[in-house]
Amino acid sequence: MTYKEYLQVLKEHSPYDFSEYSDNSIFRRIQKVMRDHKLTLEELGARTQSDKFFVEEVVEAITVNTTELFRDPDMWRYLYEKQLPLYHNNNVINIWHAGCSTGQEVYSLMILLNELGMLDKARVFATDISQKSLDSAKKAIYKHQIDKGCIENFSQVFKNTDGVEKLFSKYFDIDKKTDIISVKPFLKDNIKFVRHNLVENNLPFYNKMDIIFCRNVLIYFNSRLQNRIVQRFFDVMFSHGTLVLGAHEGLSGFFKTKFDRSGPVYKKSNVFHFRY
């Protein structure tokens, strides 16, 4: 059996379709599952056909991803200074975090909105393929973030080194000894966490979006699937909506003309496009 054939088995015997994921990165992850469970590809295929719970475990293992509070501080600084204030006169700001993983960036954005006095305008949908990740995101208790440099990120975003500890403790209960931080409940009020697989064509809400975050998620997909998903983002966004991708993700082909680059983010273009 080849990896491609295994992905076909997975597609036929589960709700999950990984056939349009980037080959080498998905293969490596399947290899890891094989190693961890000491299975050959054939055995993995057989178990995938017969054991629903095992399939969920495999899916968790191959979709697991890392995220940080304020990863890429310059981008967050830009949102804070230049983008989010544009929504100041909105009554409601609809935000979709597509592929939110364990939620650190969902809360990063809530912190910025609160600092701008806009927190109660936010209506946030945070979606992910992994129930386990969503559960962690809801719980919002994070380990080893301080070790990973979240306080440095924080002070870079707010250009504030003296008061940064105070600012940080406004949003987190902190146990420095164990390096465990938990998000204070008031940040969680307007967030809906919903399980959703971006590969599928449905959407878990009816709203149009002002801001879509999809950071370091599209990198796992091949270009064709990426373009399909970006088209969906385009369709579900208000004009002038803001699309926030990862630092090394770009828009390809004709999407380059449908979005305008603004610093590190993309704005839905308002220009009328002829279709030839």
Which residues of this chain interact with other proteins, rule CB under 8 A? Answer: 22-25, 27-29, 64-67, 71, 149, 152, 216, 218-220, 222-223, 226, 246-250, 252
Nearer to other proteins among residue 113 and residue 151 (C-beta): 151
Torsion of CA 125, 127, 133, 138, to 10 degrees: 20
Q: Is 152 left (phi over 0), alpha (psi -120 to 50) or beta?
A: alpha
- Cβ of residue 118: shortest distance to other proteins, in angstroms? 28
User: In angstroms, what is the minimal distance from the CB of 271 to other proteins?
Assistant: 23
Smallest gap, in angstroms, from Cβ of residue 145 to other proteins? Answer: 14
Question: Which H or E run includes 261?
Answer: strand 259-262
Closest CB to other proteins among residues 122, 243:
243
Smallest separation (angstroms) from other proteins to the CB of 249: 5
Q: Which is nearer to other proteins, 106 or 122 (CB)?
A: 106
Q: Which is nearer to other proteins, 24 or 201 (CB)?
A: 24
Nearer to other proteins, 95 or 151 (CB): 151
What own/partner pairs with CB < 8 Å and gap ≥ 24 does 198-207 have?
198/98, 198/99, 198/127, 198/129, 198/229, 199/16, 199/17, 199/18, 199/20, 199/129, 199/225, 201/232, 203/232, 203/236, 204/125, 204/127, 205/96, 205/125, 207/94, 207/123, 207/125
- Nearest CA to 175 among 138, 147, 139? 147
C-beta of 105: minimal distance to other proteins in Å? 12
